[in-house]
Amino acid sequence: MQTNPTHSSLVAVGDSFTEGMSDLLPDGSYRGWADLLAARMAARSPGFRYANLAVRGKLIGQIVDEQVPVAAAMKADVVTLVGGLNDTLRPKCDMGRVRSLLTEAVERLAPSCGQLVLMRSPGRQGPVLERFRPRMEELYACVDALAERHGALVVDLYGAPSLADPRLWDMDRLHLTGEGHRRVAEAVWQSLGYAPEDTEWHTPMPTTVPPGWAARRAADARFARQHLLPWIGRRLTGRSSGDGRPPKRPDLLPYGDAPAAADAGQV
């Protein structure tokens, strides 16, 4: 790994985590860790180019079919790949198939870019994580093995105590808040060899008084009504939140001017 490197291009591949949900901007669009990372890298490299092929709700098979060939053809300096977690959250999940598809993705991307970056995605504290933890850890064991085999970097967000804090997750309990995405961007930034801008990104937030019983029950009811029931409905009907949605940033194009990129990276 280089120290204080310079990269001229970044391609991000994945699902809603990489698309940037739920780091909401005033215009209703999502920013997210990949945009923040690209802004920082652009500030150091004139003419920096960035593509984000991620689409919310995508399973690893869809990522392999729809995004991986496009990303490989772009020949970027850095490619980030995060996928498979949506598969593990399905009631029926063939982990053998997930591992095979993830392997295919890595084998196609690693030779096509300067540096492939994989991740052990963060997990929010709570019963959902505990229910699916065995599948997630099987997925991450595969990530570690593939990284060692193909010279990829692994950013361990799953092992970061700060990112398990429910306060860093949106009310849908599936996506990080803006502060969570900022910490992820910092983690990837440091893993690529850049000098830290926040040495405490992995440190848990200060302890606060937890909400009372009534507030927690109200939040549970709101979560079920606004997020859980629609999610179940999509599963039962075979639909996805990403159906018909194009990639966030499909072309590898220059990403803003340096001053603007620097400002965006400091949010």
Q: pLDDT of 16-75, one tens digit each?
A: 999 999 898 999 899 999 999 999 999 999 999 999 999 999 999 999 999 999 999 999
> 94 with 132: CB under 8 angstroms?
no
Question: Is residue 244 left, alpha or beta, with left meaning phi > 0 and alpha meaning psi from -120 to 50?
Answer: left
Question: Is residue 205 left, alpha or beta, with left meaning phi > 0 and alpha meaning psi from -120 to 50?
Answer: beta
The residues that bridge with 115 in the sheet, in sequence order, are 78
Q: What tokens does 163 get?
A: 């990112």
- CA-to-CA distance for 73 and 176, rounded, in angstroms? 30
pTM of the model: 0.86
Q: 58-67, 116-125, 178-187 — which is least confidently predicted?
A: 116-125
pLDDT band at 90 (very low <50, low <70, confident <90, very high): confident
